[in-house]
Amino acid sequence: MTPPLIDPALRSCADTLDAIAHPPTATITPREPAESVAQRLHTLRSLCQGPAGGGVRLRGRLGEGGMGEVLLAEQVSMERDVAVKRLKPEARNDYSTLKLLQEAWVTGYLEHPNVIPVYDITVDAQGSPLILLKRIHGVAWGELMDDPETVRRRWGAADLLEWNLRVLMQVCDAVQFAHARGIVHRDLKPENVMVGEHGEVYVVDWGIAVTLREELASRLPLANKASELAGTPCYMAPEMLGRPGDQLSPRTDVYLLGAMLYEIMLSARPHPGNSFAEILASVLASPPPIPDDAPQELTRICTQAMALHPHDRHASALDFKLALEGFVRHRGSRRLARRASRRLEQLYGELAQAEPGQRDPERHLRLHRLHAECRFAFREALKEWPENGAAQRGLRAATLSMVEYELDNHDARGAATMLGRISEPPPPLAKRVAEAERRDEHERARMAMFRGGGLRPALRYPARLALSVGLGAGVPLLLAELASPAGSVGREPGLLPLLACAALLALMVERFVLRAPPSRSARAAATPDPGEALRLPAAARSPLAVFRDLGVDAVDRTYVELRDLRSRTRGAATTSLQPPR
């Protein structure tokens, strides 16, 4: 991407900063008119009441910056250790004094758990301000951001990313509170966040803060009149460059919160460069690019927070914090989805080795076990976060792959069961499953018809009657005829064939009629076109099909014939069994 053009005023400023070798991570303090400095200094000096020395005993130095230093001291009246912030002797002038008093006033004005408490403002023997602050036993967040061992050892946090995000969320609390009180920090960066020995978080260095309220203009510069380049270059928002028409707002701090998130994600500052011109060009090219392998949800949050135009960013620090909370809350769901995705890859591998139509029992069990594990993990992920898109897609893909597997192995019922677990299944696949179910139902009905016959329940009584005639009368007579001497039992020459036919008919009735017939829907599915079977050649049809196609009338005629046969058989049996005279 071609870097944006820098206007001559900004390039001149960048050249000046390069000339004085200003570090890109150090804060640029804006210059103000002497008149406004004198007015605010007069107001703030009125806060410095009390005896010289302020009732503190100085002990030693805790740290120092460009203009000031922080000393360890004892507050005599309270017998407690405090931190005392004051100006270095060589930096004592009206402007530096104003900045120190402004920071002290803002810090005291923002009474919040994530802002260091100010105990008092006094002066030393030379009349220079002394700011009494709570002593913090901690370290700058910037030193811990990429140090997982220290974080684990001191606070027991095994997940460095989550720990950093929770620190950032506490920074958001302090910033949101400041905005509610009409204060914009405009120099948020990891070095300006302290982490105490118990994990408490404090936002510090409010020295270049501005106000959004007219009633506070006697103590702080107004945001709508802050037109000088100010802040830390490698974190700076575009409107902090002091260009005409740009104006500071709470969304300026939102950009800086996004810049810290960028550093958490990539362990790099958002606006690098070998010169200030390159750094300012990067600022104007916001948002900075983020690699594709970064967490997508964090990328979206960071990109929105660091949008070039303020109206495209999160509306407030609270909205930014809620987005981070959502990401942290969803991490467990994402972990489950990633674990399920690994099982899904194994499932795909097993499916690739499966031969269509050849079901290996062992592979079949492995496939269903892998699918069950995938389904369970994806569903648990969705239980924690119903909007988890990766889990939704994974669950759907796993189920669809098993539908295809069941279809390839001619298991329509299994495919239909799997498909029923999917909302809005693909229409082509749903059509294939429906067709497979129809074929399967047709085959089951055909097999049931073959095994159980096609007679309706009303015809079972005649069939049983025929069986009774055949077995109750025909078989004994047939056996007696075969066992007796020729001509001693039968009186009629055609009786033996008739009895054999009766017994055979009885066996056929038992085999093909007295089984439970299929349901009406099964018969309808089995014979979608009743006339189709009758149109086939007789040689192409089984005897059972021919018998079925004859219909009810033919069965009724058979019943009449069986009744007459039974009457004749009874008469013949009575005559044959009479003893000879």
Whole-angstrom Cα distance, residue 255 to residue 321?
13
User: Which of 238-242, 397-401, 407-411 is most confident?
Assistant: 397-401
Distance of CA 282 to the CA centre of its chain: 33
For residue 489, what pLDDT is reported?
47
The answer to whether residue 89 scores a pLDDT higher than 50 is yes
For residue 194, give the H/E element and its range: strand 193-196
- Mean pLDDT, rounded, for 67-88: 89
| Per-residue pLDDT reduced to its tens digit, 309-360 | 999 999 999 999 999 999 999 988 999 999 999 999 999 999 999 888 777 8
pLDDT band at 146 (very low <50, low <70, confident <90, very high): very high
Cβ-based neighbour number of residue 34 at 10 Å: 10
The answer to whether residue 477 scores a pLDDT higher than 80 is no
Which DSSP category does 474 fall into? I
| Per-residue pLDDT reduced to its tens digit, 514-569 | 554 555 554 554 444 444 433 344 443 444 443 444 443 444 444 455 556 556 65
For residue 6, what pLDDT is reported?
60
Which DSSP category does 4 fall into? P
| Per-residue pLDDT reduced to its tens digit, 214-232 | 999 888 889 988 888 889 9
The answer to whether residue 111 scores a pLDDT higher than 50 is yes
Residue scoring higher pLDDT (260 or 91): 260
CATH of range 38-135; options 3.40.50.920, 3.30.200.20, 3.40.50.1580, 3.40.50.300: 3.30.200.20
- Mean pLDDT, rounded, for 279-294: 92
| Per-residue pLDDT reduced to its tens digit, 440-476 | 888 888 777 655 544 455 555 565 565 566 666 666 6
Whole-angstrom Cα distance, residue 299 to residue 286?
14
Would you call 363 exposed, middle or buried from its count of C-beta atoms within 10 A (0-12, 13-18, 19+)?
A: middle
For residue 496, what pLDDT is reported?
60
Question: Domain ranges in the chain?
Answer: 38-135, 147-305+315-322, 336-425, 450-576
CATH of range 147-305+315-322; options 3.40.50.1820, 1.10.510.10, 1.10.540.10, 2.30.30.220: 1.10.510.10
Residues listed for the chain: 581
- Mean pLDDT, rounded, for 122-151: 90
Which ranges constitute the DSSP H helices of 69-156? 94-109, 141-144, 148-155
| Per-residue pLDDT reduced to its tens digit, 261-281 | 999 999 999 999 888 888 989
